[in-house]
Structure 1
Amino acid sequence: MKINQRGRGKFKPAPEYSIEDVRKILMEKINEELNMSIDETMDYCEEDLHYDSVKFNIVSLFCGAGGLDLGVELAGLDVILGKEEVDKAFSSKETYESIREQSVFHHVYANDIFKEALETYRNNFPEHIFVHHKDIRKVKKFPKSNLVLGGFPCPGFSEAGPRLVDDPRNFLYIHFIRCLMQSQPEFFIAENVKGMLTLGKGEVFSQIKQDFEAAGYKVYHQLVDARDYGVPQIRERVFLVGVREDIDFEYEFPLPTHGEGIFLKPYVTLREAIGDLENDPGPYYQGSYSSIYMSRNRKKSWDEQSFTIQASGRQAPLHPSGAPMQKIDKDKWIFPNGEEDNRRLSVKEVARIQTFPDWYEFSDGGNLKVSQNSRLDKLYKQIGNAVPVQLARAIARPLAEWVHENKIKKGEELIEAKA
């Protein structure tokens, strides 16, 4: 519902809507998205797509820098080689490249509109993958696949933002569903922010889940915290895992591996994750701290997990060194030891916290005409938008186990091989 204002206030915030208003708006926006003009030009042909006939072939939507994709690939290796062996290989790009083709998963196609993120994806994934730089709303036909991945954009759902029911970015999931209907994969994995569950008094999430189910899938969802799976970060995210209705498999979300329980490993701390980078952190975003930034605590101690890594250099959490921030008033914090003794986490540090390996090569676009902060911000954006690699690995593991036991070992031909 639009009103005559500019900026963030041009849409009516979700809490003011009745349930009936929300339902009406949802249906209007879904119909608008479905009626959007699709580009009839095919940007690829079948010869551009390289399938593996005895593996689970992946189509990745909103792929970004590839965090979800990399985690899924790792899960597909774990069931073949064992997690310990994969972990050893993962520390070195050369060693990892020597084993990655053994995964039960095989990437075929990846799509996004973020140019620098796609450059990052190309830098780190096999050359055979067709990387499609195009607005998903304009893609005419999606490739066949066995598994579709995607963290559809979330700004309209985020509790940190204006929480707009009619934000057009909330409806890009429709094209994920369009892909499912064309591709008919056995499974899908979708990820989004916690606020997705409560927007529009829960009606938005209810509609999204119903739409995925209407595409022919049993849909399982759960809110998970990344730190429960070995990620040194407090990051709550919703995952939806779909199993095609004709598949006899009930997905179960993995139990936490880390925490305070007697049978759990301790949470991974910032000291363990980035302690060795304290004196050589690499480039980091520099500049003043806004009143919004200083409205709450931004610093965790070395023995804690990081705040959520956001898709912005300016909003990056503070490095844990030095004195803690001090609260002096409602929504007002200060640096007791001075601003000059505090800095934001570096690009390399936030990548570690998102559990990317050090060898992962991020692209800032290489435009030297823009400021260093602007170039760095593109890196923070890619990293903050990504699904933590180790979290994706945990979520995908039950699917990888099913694929290995039910398909790969039997040598079934899953998709007709293409030239």
Structure 2
Amino acid sequence: MGRTLTKNFRSSLTFAPDEVHEVLQQKIAEENRHALESSTPQTRDFEHELLATAHYTSKTNILSLFSGAGGLDLGVQLAFLVAKYGEEKAYKIFTDEASFKSLSADAHIVYSNDLFIAANETYVANFGSELVKDSRDIRKVVTFPQSDLILGGFPCPGFSAAGPRLLDDPRNFLYIHYIRALMQSRPAFFIAENVKGLMTMANGQVLEQIIEDFAAAGYQVQAHLVNARDYGVPQLRERVFIIGARNDIVEKTGFTYELPEPTHGPDRDLPYITLRDAIGDLEFSDVSEVFDGSYSSMYMSRNRKKGWDEQSFTIQASGRQAPQHPGGEPMKKLGKDSWKFQGEFNRRVSVREAARIQTFPDWFEFSDGGNQKVSKNNRLNEQYKQIGNAVPVFLAEKISRPIAKFLLEMKPSQMNETLF
């Protein structure tokens, strides 16, 4: 999460819109100069190739930033299938790799950017090699391609009391580069995801300013806090989604993003999905994909085991911090910040079980980085990290469904008109 803002932090939420836009333009111009200065003939040739990447006027062209293993991207592709074929058929298609890949072409991923090597290998293996996979630091990307939709969860930024605005902080804030991509690419919509804590940093002022900065790029912006289990994910996981619709799209079509109603829970049509539903059939499967390291005092300071008929704790981006498998006896509380295991069956969830809890399909494979010189646990951790950092696929599908439906129906000419 980075450093929390101190009491000396000065908000600029009272800035007039034109002042916000001016500061943003200055910062984006500065970052564009930095990217250009760091470029080489080789990277410029790469970007020339990138700009020549095929775009399809009959499809939605997607640009993915901070893409990781692609949970958000996969969920958006599923949302397009739901919009086209209906939920029941789309979710059935989703379970079969060949069918899903052949029928999800309406959501065409043009470009993906991330620094994480193993995640990039995973992404290409599962989304195909036709897209442009960029493994450079996003701060060094000079030119982003045109798109209809940008996806990505920028890392939760660290903040200081150094300046009057987030954009004036001397450190590079990666969400700025998300905005930089928006201003170059001009998609009709964007979807960004972040941790729950973003909503409460500096009593909400940080999120307000981020929304203000995205809005200054020409978008109507909303932020929503959701819990994954309310949307069919067997996991207690609260996240913030920041949704943006380009101003001229809103003005010309009247589109307003409405957060889909929760689908699962006591007062909903469907019950919560449980660990038994998600991984019950894997109980006696091969456990070679289980991180088997020791447990720290921090790990043992609280309950780490949910029951079969509950939802999992949040899947962390770490094998060592993976929650316990629900089998066996529950953990026993000894006192404040002290728990212990009971019985003989106690282990972390496996890589595949964690992926199931994050609602990835079984055909989706995760790279371990391929370095056979490091330990098994280190290789497994590369996979746990990708899975824990991902947006749960079914949550991404539900959140993006209204946008997917709109983009399937919208004429490309209407989307390509811009205000700037």
TM range (shorter): 0.7 to 0.9
Give the aligned partner of residue 212 of structure 1: 214
Counterpart-to-counterpart distance in 2, 1:215 and 1:31: 12
Alignment of 1:322-341 (within 5 A): 322-337=328-343, 341=345
Structure 1 residues 78 and 169, CA gap change in structure 2 (3 angstroms): farther
How has the CA–CA distance of structure 1 residues 84 and 149 changed in structure 2, closer, same or farther, with 3 Å as cutoff?
A: same
2:144 match: 142
CA deviations over 1:153-208 (Å, ceiling 9, x no partner): 13759xxxxxxx99999821000000001111110000000000111222211111
- CA 1:141–1:34 in 2, change beyond 3 Å: closer, same or farther? same
- The equivalences for 1:254-403 within 5 A come to 254-261=260-267, 263-282=268-287, 283-337=289-343, 341-403=345-407
Whether the 8 Å CA contact 1:281–1:348 is kept in 2: the answer is no
Q: Say if 1:53 and 1:393 are closer, same or farther in 2 by CA, change over 3 A.
A: same
Structure 1 window deviating more from structure 2 (243-252 vs 39-48): it is: 39-48
Please give the secondary structure, in 2, of the residue aligned with 1:20: coil
Distance 1:211 1:83, change over 3 A: same
Q: CA deviation at 1:18?
A: 3.5
**Cα deviations across residues 235-280 of structure 1 (Å, max 9, x unaligned)?**
000001100011131100100010111x420000000100000111
Aligned length: 389
SS for the counterpart of 2:300 is helix
Q: Does the CA-based 8 Å contact 1:33-1:174 persist in structure 2?
A: no
The alpha-carbon distance between structure 1 residues 166 and 34, as it changes in their structure 2 partners (threshold 3 A), is closer
Give the structure 1 partner of residue 4 of structure 2: 14
- For 1:344-383, what per-residue CA distance to the aligned partner results, in whole angstroms no more than 9, with x for missing partners? 0000000000000000011011110000000000000000
CA contact (8 A) 1:221 1:238 kept: yes
**Which residue matches 1:4?**
none
Contact 2:196 2:238 in 1 (8 A): yes
Tell me the residue number matched to 1:187.
189
In the alignment, is the contact (CA less than 8 A) between 1:54 and 1:413 conserved in 2? no
* Alignment correspondent of 2:199: 197
SS of the residue 1:94 aligns to: helix
Question: Which residue of 21, 34, 37 corresponds with 2:34?
Answer: 37
CA distance in 1, matches of 2:78, 2:145: 23
- 2-side partners of 1:413 and 1:206: how far apart? 30
Change (3 A) 1:256 1:16: same
How far residue 405 of structure 1 moved from its aligned partner, in angstroms, is 2.6
Residue number in structure 2 paired with 1:160: none
Quick one: distance in 2 between partners of 1:34 and 1:333?
Answer: 51
Q: Distance in 1 between matches of 2:28 and 2:415?
A: 35
Partner amino acid, structure 2, of 1:304: E
Contact 1:54–1:415 (Cα < 8 Å) also in 2:
no
What amino acid is aligned across from residue 178 of structure 1 in structure 2?
R
- 1:320 and 1:281, CA in 2 relative to 1: closer, same or farther beyond 3 A? farther
Instruction: Check the 8 A contact 1:192/1:239 in 2, yes or no.
Output: yes
Residue 176 of structure 2: aligned partner: 174
TM-score (ref. length: structure 2)? 0.86
Q: Aligned with 1:384: secondary structure?
A: helix
State the Cα distance separating 1:234 from its structure 2 match.
0.5
The alignment's C-alpha RMSD in Å is 2.8
Match of 2:240 among 205, 230, 238: 238
Contact 2:71-2:360 at 8 Å conserved across structures: yes
The SS at the match of 1:300 is coil
Q: Is the partner of 2:403 in helix, strand or coil? A: helix
Q: Structure 1 residues 219 and 346 mapped into 2: Cα distance closer, same or farther (>3 Å)? A: same
Instruction: State the SS of the aligned residue for 2:93.
Output: helix
